[in-house]
Chains A and B, each alone.
Chain A
């Protein structure tokens, strides 16, 4: 187990490096310089700017400077937010995104898993069909459609929750963004839980447990639940990536001052350093999430744990 953990940790390093190289190379391969598209800048100013953003050094040197900065937690200056560094922007905006994302994932598990189990225990009944129809809608209606509709219904018409993100809103301002973010995940988790539990319930060892006179509740609890939840655990890695993507939309729609909004602004404003920084930050986050999920999975599955 220790060896496995160490192996996975070491294995993540090349992936992180690959991300940085790819992202850096992409930004630097932009046709023309970063200022070309904008209004004409006096040559002296441009030279100053080029020096400030370290664009004059040879490309490999620029890369290693950038890498060294990353190791210190320094993502360099922003192109557009002149008074803030990328690191400061990330540090100020990430906590709220993290909070919303974690709550959404938690909600997805709390609703999705029981819904999926309920459907799996009564396959092809009305309950099952209803849960699965809702889940199918959940995966087929994109977040950017759901989020505005939630606003229309619960903020504009019913006026239960605020439509936007007021700085004094407290918990109520978080409800709609979290729900919007969680809905597709609830649907995925429910589908996955159902399929996986049905699969497990059809396995030979469940037949053995039935032959042993165990009640349905005991069979689920002691024999079926753990193997059935393994696919859900491994889905949590990709789920982090999907929730991050969704948060870009949700923050845009609800006006949440999170990292996703900076990302979209950065993309639309061609703020190269900001977009580069956030992509790398996201990538590391996703790699770490996948790593944790892998380790949890291997700890849960005895065949990997001591294999």
Chain B
């Protein structure tokens, strides 16, 4: 993809493939099962995995397969939407600071430094406490607090690109600021942005599942992987699959994103070193 023959390349492709499979399963899975993810069934409490209930049932007799697929859906949607929110804010903020430079940049980055020292998780909790458990708020809150890394990276890249000789050459060739951004800065930013987007997704997933685990995120009957793990913990001693199945799904998704991000970063590093 970026560099052929890298050992990471295989891991990247495998992770990407597995994530696609998981995402498709999460979309299609609930339709293929006769069970509804909210349907309580007191005749089938805590059933272990079987042909009827592929992943077993939980303490209220709900089908765990459908619930896990729904949980993955919510988790992935939160991850993607929140990452996009942080991406947009981060790129705009970072690019503006990097392009204008000078005093504006100094002030904007002082602010980012100050915000960096804030305990964001706790601010999100405060936000959730104050504004009640609002599903959309969770997206927004996580996205809003996650843009700092992206802003720093984009700003740093922009600043160093701005100093690059080919940008000077383009300015001297009479290319105006819009042309510089569109043709010279942006195309050279894309690689870094993709890498850090990939690396920020697992952080977002962790934060969402953390909140749901504490009962502060997605609310019943909606569920996410964090919420499922929370229920699983309470049934740990008698029905461990209720914990282990959603926990495994969460870990696999996180691992795929981490491998993907690592691999892409290595490939990008190798490319920048080679050029």
Q: Which residues of A contact B (CB under 8 A)?
A: 12, 14-15, 18-19, 22-23, 26-27, 29-31, 136-137, 139-142, 144-145, 148-149, 151-152, 156, 241, 244-245, 248-249, 252-253, 263-264, 266-268, 270, 272, 275-276, 278-279, 282-283, 286-287, 290
Contacts and interface: CB of A to CB of B under 8 A. Distances in A.
Interface stretch (B34-42, B60-68, B124-132, B190-198): B124-132
A282 B119 contact: yes
A82 to B, nearest CB: 19
B30 to A, nearest CB: 23
Given A137-B255, A264-B214, A267-B129, A279 B117 contact: no
B123 A26 contact: yes
B127 A26 contact: yes
A136 B250 contact: no
Interface in B195-249: 202, 206, 209-210, 213-216, 226, 229-230, 232-233, 236-237, 240, 243, 247
A23 B130 CA distance: 11
Contacts of B122: 245, 263, 278-279, 282-283
Given A26-B126, A27-B130, A279-B126, A144 B226 contact: yes
B125 A275 contact: yes
A275 B237 CA distance: 32
Interface of B: 113-119, 121-123, 125-131, 202, 206, 209-210, 213-216, 226, 229-230, 232-233, 236-237, 240, 243, 247, 250-251, 254-255, 258-259
A148 B243 contact: yes
Contacts of B129: 266-267, 270, 272, 275
Contact of B236 (A23, A148, A264, A267): A148
Given A136-B259, A137-B255, A148-B243, A279 B210 contact: no
Contacts of A248: 214
Contacts of A253: 233
A152 B126 contact: no
The 8 closest A-B pairs by CB, nearest first: A140-B255, A140-B254, A145-B247, A15-B114, A30-B130, A148-B233, A282-B119, A287-B117
B251 A245 contact: no
Contacts of A268: 214-216
Contacts of B125: 263, 267, 275, 279
A27 B214 CA distance: 20
A14 B114 contact: yes
Contacts of A144: 209-210, 213, 226, 229-230, 233
Contact of B202 (A140, A263, A264): A140
Nearest to A199: B269
A138 to B, nearest CB: 10
B126 A276 contact: yes
Contacts of B240: 152
A139 B226 CA distance: 16
13 contacts: A18-B115, A137-B251, A142-B206, A142-B209, A142-B251, A144-B229, A145-B243, A145-B247, A148-B236, A267-B214, A275-B129, A283-B118, A286-B119
B33 to A, nearest CB: 24
Given A136-B258, A152-B236, A286-B119, A145 B126 contact: no
A162 to B, nearest CB: 15
A244 B119 contact: yes
A145 B250 contact: yes
A238 B201 CA distance: 18
A249 B114 contact: no
A252 B229 CA distance: 14
Contacts of B116: 290
Contact of B237 (A23, A152, A263, A283): A152
Contacts of A141: 247, 251, 254
A125 to B, nearest CB: 13
Given A30-B130, A145-B247, A245-B210, A156 B123 contact: no
Contact of B117 (A252, A264, A290): A290
Contacts of B254: 139-142
Contacts of A276: 126
A275 B126 contact: yes
